[in-house]
Structure 1
């Protein structure tokens, strides 16, 4: 790369520049990285950037910006140039963040315990009791190990003189660790040589410490220890992170409806019964956690969870009520609190903050309003920050009057001139531009103190956005590299070095009822998508064919398309079929949306290959434009291939456990229903109608021709598609598989299923070759009976496994 790498990089005189010294020279710890960047071929760097963007898109790495036009599909934005932090800089940050985490834990312990700080006047009572985050039901809860604050995050900014300041504390359910991990995986792959040569501290040891600390502090009993990650659900803005962390750390991803309370303990509802939960990493807000004691209208929580925390039967990370510490109003009192509780000065200072609930503070802040930002003291309030210097006289008066009505709800904070760091300039490829940055640093509690993630999540402002950085406002991100003088232990892995019998037991029996239901419907929607794509392809090709035998099949295919909801009696067939194939809101597009939605609920269970294929199908370019007939047929070919790939992952990539069984049952029920409808359509078309279309629809043309050297005839076609249980596309194959699956489930879980399917299977077995002709009046009722039995089986499975019931061993607990 040429030496004009920094031609477009402009330093601002009133801000700290992470890349350059005050005299314009490049800082020493940045020089090796820039040398590597200059040595990269432009084509190579462009290829790596494209790889990162493709990975974000295909892996579905998202951050939902509420009210954003892209909604839940808004891709995560990561700049490939990391923020480099030298060892001395990081040591100061690490010590300061660990100290704040210790301090906040002690503050929580007092506020929900003896409240000595309130009695001594070190914290104004109105600041605590007037904050929505203070939960009275959490009083006197003593968590295991005395750890109220297990996870903590600090939002840092560097002032123009180079000092780091904290401008926000995250104590309720801090987010970002998963995105920091994903950024590290992508950026380190983009610059592997520089990553190794600069001796960047790794993340694996931090995550291992997190997991081991949870296991150490959590209570025990009732079988192997179980840790779950509680998410508000797939429509939360950081759901991708929840699924990533659960998969990476080996936790079970759950929603509130997956958990229940019995006898003062928390249990996970699984298809095998209830499993004791020992620790919950919660990623939902405090007041939504328990509708019984906290927010009564919450559909996300677990009734009785607060009582379990009170009893100490479950470890909550973080403890209920930790959100009160997110009040910016507390920042001004931290220096005195640190001296009182830790006996040492606060190492990492907060940005100057005034709580306007004190009249003197309000007057003092108003005298310097041009230098301040007015913010809500409670983050849950929907009040936007207001920059004092942007207000006219009338606006100032109106704001003052508004604040004086409820002054305890507001804080004034010094306006932070954020430091700037280099990013790749997308408008001038392969050049660097300057953007405002902030660092979110993370800490977790351990038995020996708090461990801090080396680096963290760097948030990046957009062009011209120098006053604030917010992911909800569409900001970007980057990785943070902490550089070391000594070699880094790159061999450390989060994976266990040994497996114990408890680990074997822990690895089984954790399929939640909700996950089983999503797997079941993932199988059904996957097969429904495949059937829809094949039917549209057959119907379209025969609709435009001039061959007589093809035209014969078109009428039967159209009849099946009407039964399948792809055509109506009034529409012109070809345009309607084109819409059904290419519209994102109907036909194939609608079914793929349902498939993607079921897959989204299974993010922690699907492999990256699974997810990549699913994303490609759901977001194919055909849905973005009006496609011609050739383009539509080409798309249907791609769709069939992609859906066969998805089914292949289930066939070859999933172990034959209960999760695979539920997915396979869903697929077979759906295929059985489709095959019976297809055969009914063929029989209704009459004995003289062609059968080529039916063989093609059922993907059995090659099998037929390899067995019978004659044109398609009713006897061999019906034998192949109806009776032959060795043909994976036959009715008999689906019935035999379903009966086997049901028997296996009943062996484990007891009888539950309606056995009409078994009776129909017996009728199917008793069919003689002489019965296989289109005039046989028994075939129609048999096909209808098979389909009805499959639908009843679906209902039986739903009632038995997805509408959770207690196992016999725990029935006495509910009495």
Structure 2
């Protein structure tokens, strides 16, 4: 029984079949009662369009709250764009999927054999199965990887395949991804989000879960370790936070429990790969890489790469480390292989391909090239490489001039081009504007090596075109995603077990094992957070003072204390000239202009905006360590900053309210960090950075406000502002119950050992945490860091308040106090440098002796 036309008018399918695609998933299923699409549509209809719209909003909110992002290059919306997931999943029944699964396993095995052959015996080339130009003209073929042998039974360990339903109603292979396939983490997050937000959509639908696949994946990472160690060290190698799928790198690091590292975290010594930790070097057995082939080793591959590890290929040759996937596997991401896959399959397996492919013609063959050029508008043309994000030509939309230029390019370099049949893949329902609309889709699923075969994820990641008539499906072009359901007739267990065998062996046992790059990022994350919070509090204090004193419509302050505060902002933040020097008079005419600049201008080094940007960068480098609550607070900070930038008119009140909200969130983030990160994960470094920054800026604040000897009334106003900016006025009144005096202020903010915001307390905390860091040189009683911070404490403990508060009559300044503070500032700077030199000083980048460039 099918859904009648009059019924459709009353459903969320209204208008769905207008200008319908020839191939649509709903039409293929014929809308029969037994169809899984019919059950799903019944569930959607019962939920109703209004509630579905609400659920879509909830999913968008959850993904944003959880920090699920996808970096779109040159995106005006910013680097970290929220991931998009449509509320309606995509369905394939287990009966159809079983055949697809066999086809994927077969294809993975063929690609594995191709990879072995191309870097080994090259029987495919010797027997004329593949023309040599198909391989040697492809940038993915790396001669440095020739004849490398591996201990693993299979060389291709992870394979991602893109599928779309072709004109015959079967799922066709669109692309193979073999270098560093992405999407697993997004697929898993899609499933978690759908299950949490809209569980009622699963009613009467038996959806297979991916838990077994991910358990197999983690076992694979542990089993490929070449050392046969019971406790192999597995790391995930990322290019860094600017990579488009960096969220997934950090997500998998947290989910699987393996450290996330960058190239300069690793070093080659004595034929092995080592992780640089705080204590020393720790051997790495397995690298799950998300860095492209040619960037993996600057000694033998791209010499300009800072993403890989110098000497890595030699360690691979010695079979002392396993790379997932092996370096050189990018040669398989070559559409010019498609025309030859049928013969390759027969050559290796004596079988026919199970999964159909797009009809393709490699232009390096005269007959095929002539066939393509005779009717070029009928084809989609690609270059055989994708390493430079090469353009895809939909020739039917090209002008005569563009067609002529493309034809000339093909004739000039025919080996570099492949033409493919123009095919309109199927569409599937997407929930948009309270109804379902058809959108073209491409499915990505994954297979991993498992014993003698491959294990295939039941489902995966579905990407959806942005517009109804859009031909190209791409996340970079703004597409959305779907959860990918494999549905069964059997009841499924929705309670999933993601408990990894042996995963405990990969945990850092102590702070000694923290990667030095992670430790450095934690340290600077603490420093940038401390600087941002300190600056925000000080700017808020000054803004509040501006509302309390005479501040007329011409933006001129007649308060001497306010003028001192303005100048102190410049001195504390080092944002010169600011309110000082030749710029002083002009800036004081309209101080709000300078305060707005410090708040919003990312180019003002030392200002709030620039400090916030630096904190953002360090945060993204560590996001695998932060909890979801921390991400939510962080996201709230970004939203407040974005909202402020959208203001058309800036007033004292506008900026003051902004800082009220930001300060609260920064303090919340600071508190959550202590709950989210263990000391053995590097929390000590975060707190050392935080306390050094706060102590250093406290010293600068003292030097800006209390060195000059003001008259009694002015000194009172300055001291009150100092205490307010330090959030210490109430503490002072409780402690001293007396008229403000500089002696008592210094007793509280400089000398008090029990007050957490005093300089003495901060440096004592720095010493306590530094003492817990590993001593890398056991022959030395104290590290340089310890010596420097001990000297700071000794100077503070031995000072005489009466002596340092003496006024120099010639200058009317407290010179001894200024000299002391200057010495303390220098010592804290030396402490910071010694921490960096002792724990973060990575070895100099190794380089090739002779220039060697990968061909373009």
TM-score range, shorter chain: over 0.9
- Is the 8 Å Cα contact of residues 213 and 447 (structure 1) preserved in structure 2? no
1:395-406 equivalent positions in 2, closer than 5 A: 395-406=402-413
Q: C-alpha separation between the residues in 1 aligned to 2:255 and 2:203?
A: 23
Shift of 1:350: 1.1
Indicate yes or no: 2:697 matched with 1:697: no
TM-aligned CA distance change 1:319 to 1:704, over 3 Å = same
Q: C-alpha separation between the residues in 2 aligned to 1:85 and 1:397?
A: 42
Q: C-alpha separation between the residues in 2 aligned to 1:248 and 1:485?
A: 30
SS in 2 for 1:281: strand
Shift of 1:186: 1.7
Q: C-alpha separation between the residues in 2 aligned to 1:196 and 1:142?
A: 50
Q: C-alpha separation between the residues in 2 aligned to 1:388 and 1:296?
A: 37
Indicate yes or no: 2:655 matched with 1:632: yes
- Map of 1:10 onto structure 2: 17
Q: C-alpha separation between the residues in 1 aligned to 2:364 and 2:154?
A: 30
- Map of 1:109 onto structure 2: 116
| TM-score (normalizing by structure 2) | 0.89
Q: C-alpha separation between the residues in 2 aligned to 1:339 and 1:25?
A: 39
1:439-478 equivalent positions in 2, closer than 5 A: 439-478=443-482
TM-aligned CA distance change 1:55 to 1:468, over 3 Å = same
Indicate yes or no: 2:545 matched with 1:542: yes
- Map of 1:568 onto structure 2: 579
- Map of 1:782 onto structure 2: 820
Indicate yes or no: 2:821 matched with 1:798: no
TM-aligned CA distance change 1:333 to 1:27, over 3 Å = farther
- Map of 1:721 onto structure 2: 749
1:218-257 equivalent positions in 2, closer than 5 A: 218-220=225-227, 224-257=231-264
Indicate yes or no: 2:668 matched with 1:668: no
Give the alignment partner of residue 628 of structure 2, picking from 608, 620, 627.
608
- Map of 2:172 onto structure 1: 165
Q: C-alpha separation between the residues in 2 aligned to 1:275 and 1:603?
A: 23
- Is the 8 Å Cα contact of residues 445 and 459 (structure 2) preserved in structure 1? yes
- Which deviations, in whole Å up to 9, do the C-alpha atoms of 1:236-288 show, x marking residues without a partner? 11111111111111121111111111111111111121111111111111111
- Is the 8 Å Cα contact of residues 271 and 314 (structure 2) preserved in structure 1? yes
SS in 1 for 2:341: helix
1:238-637 equivalent positions in 2, closer than 5 A: 238-380=245-387, 383-391=390-398, 395-425=402-432, 428=433, 430-496=434-500, 502=505, 509-546=512-549, 551=559, 553-563=561-571, 564-565=573-574, 567-569=578-580, 570=583, 571=587, 572-583=590-601, 585-586=603-604, 587-620=607-640, 621-626=643-648, 627-637=650-660
- Is the 8 Å Cα contact of residues 516 and 659 (structure 1) preserved in structure 2? yes
SS in 1 for 2:82: coil
Shift of 1:206: 1.2
Q: C-alpha separation between the residues in 1 aligned to 2:755 and 2:776?
A: 28
Give the alignment partner of residue 677 of structure 2, picking from 629, 654, 657.
654
TM-aligned CA distance change 1:774 to 1:655, over 3 Å = farther
- Is the 8 Å Cα contact of residues 162 and 443 (structure 2) preserved in structure 1? yes
TM-aligned CA distance change 1:559 to 1:505, over 3 Å = closer
- Is the 8 Å Cα contact of residues 510 and 680 (structure 2) preserved in structure 1? no
Q: C-alpha separation between the residues in 1 aligned to 2:596 and 2:396?
A: 57
Indicate yes or no: 2:770 matched with 1:761: no
Q: C-alpha separation between the residues in 1 aligned to 2:561 and 2:670?
A: 28
Shift of 1:575: 2.9
- Is the 8 Å Cα contact of residues 155 and 169 (structure 1) preserved in structure 2? yes
Q: C-alpha separation between the residues in 2 aligned to 1:324 and 1:723?
A: 65
Q: C-alpha separation between the residues in 2 aligned to 1:24 and 1:686?
A: 87
- Which deviations, in whole Å up to 9, do the C-alpha atoms of 1:69-99 show, x marking residues without a partner? 2342333222121111111122122111111
Shift of 1:746: 5.4
Structure 2 residue runs without a partner (length 5+): 1-7, 552-556, 808-813, 845-856
Q: C-alpha separation between the residues in 1 aligned to 2:229 and 2:390?
A: 46
- Map of 1:120 onto structure 2: 127
SS in 2 for 1:444: strand
TM-aligned CA distance change 1:685 to 1:281, over 3 Å = same
Q: C-alpha separation between the residues in 2 aligned to 1:21 and 1:394?
A: 40
- Which deviations, in whole Å up to 9, do the C-alpha atoms of 1:135-163 show, x marking residues without a partner? 11111112221322111111111023311
- Map of 2:665 onto structure 1: 642
Q: C-alpha separation between the residues in 2 aligned to 1:503 and 1:251?
A: 6
- Is the 8 Å Cα contact of residues 524 and 666 (structure 1) preserved in structure 2? yes
- Is the 8 Å Cα contact of residues 223 and 276 (structure 1) preserved in structure 2? no
Q: C-alpha separation between the residues in 2 aligned to 1:233 and 1:58?
A: 21
Q: C-alpha separation between the residues in 2 aligned to 1:38 and 1:507?
A: 54
After the TM superposition, which of the residue ranges 648-657 and 764-773 deviates more from structure 2? Answer: 764-773
- Is the 8 Å Cα contact of residues 159 and 416 (structure 1) preserved in structure 2? yes
Q: C-alpha separation between the residues in 2 aligned to 1:93 and 1:551?
A: 78
TM-aligned CA distance change 1:672 to 1:485, over 3 Å = same
After the TM superposition, which of the residue ranges 781-790 and 704-713 deviates more from structure 2? Answer: 704-713
Shift of 1:423: 1.0
SS in 1 for 2:454: strand
- Map of 2:770 onto structure 1: 742
Shift of 1:547: 8.0
- Map of 2:853 onto structure 1: none
SS in 1 for 2:592: helix
Q: C-alpha separation between the residues in 2 aligned to 1:391 and 1:153?
A: 31
The alignment of Structure 1 onto Structure 2 pairs a total of residues equal to 802
TM-aligned CA distance change 1:268 to 1:497, over 3 Å = closer
TM-aligned CA distance change 1:535 to 1:506, over 3 Å = closer
- Map of 1:186 onto structure 2: 193
Q: C-alpha separation between the residues in 2 aligned to 1:21 and 1:512?
A: 53
After the TM superposition, which of the residue ranges 625-634 and 230-239 deviates more from structure 2? Answer: 625-634
Structure 1 residue runs without a partner (length 5+): 807-815
TM-aligned CA distance change 1:197 to 1:511, over 3 Å = farther
- Indicate the RMSD between aligned Cα atoms, in angstroms: 2.6
- Is the 8 Å Cα contact of residues 215 and 500 (structure 2) preserved in structure 1? no
- Is the 8 Å Cα contact of residues 757 and 786 (structure 1) preserved in structure 2? no
- Map of 2:3 onto structure 1: none
- Is the 8 Å Cα contact of residues 592 and 618 (structure 1) preserved in structure 2? no
Shift of 1:289: 0.8
Q: C-alpha separation between the residues in 2 aligned to 1:21 and 1:259?
A: 51
Q: C-alpha separation between the residues in 1 aligned to 2:166 and 2:445?
A: 17
Q: C-alpha separation between the residues in 2 aligned to 1:509 and 1:166?
A: 47
After the TM superposition, which of the residue ranges 491-500 and 306-315 deviates more from structure 2? Answer: 491-500
| TM-score (normalizing by structure 1) | 0.93
Shift of 1:333: 1.2
SS in 2 for 1:669: helix
After the TM superposition, which of the residue ranges 725-734 and 297-306 deviates more from structure 2? Answer: 297-306
- Which deviations, in whole Å up to 9, do the C-alpha atoms of 1:508-534 show, x marking residues without a partner? 644211111111110001010111011
Q: C-alpha separation between the residues in 1 aligned to 2:124 and 2:138?
A: 16
- Map of 1:811 onto structure 2: none
Q: C-alpha separation between the residues in 2 aligned to 1:534 and 1:113?
A: 64
- Map of 2:783 onto structure 1: 752
SS in 2 for 1:668: helix
- Is the 8 Å Cα contact of residues 30 and 84 (structure 1) preserved in structure 2? yes
Q: C-alpha separation between the residues in 1 aligned to 2:764 and 2:397?
A: 73
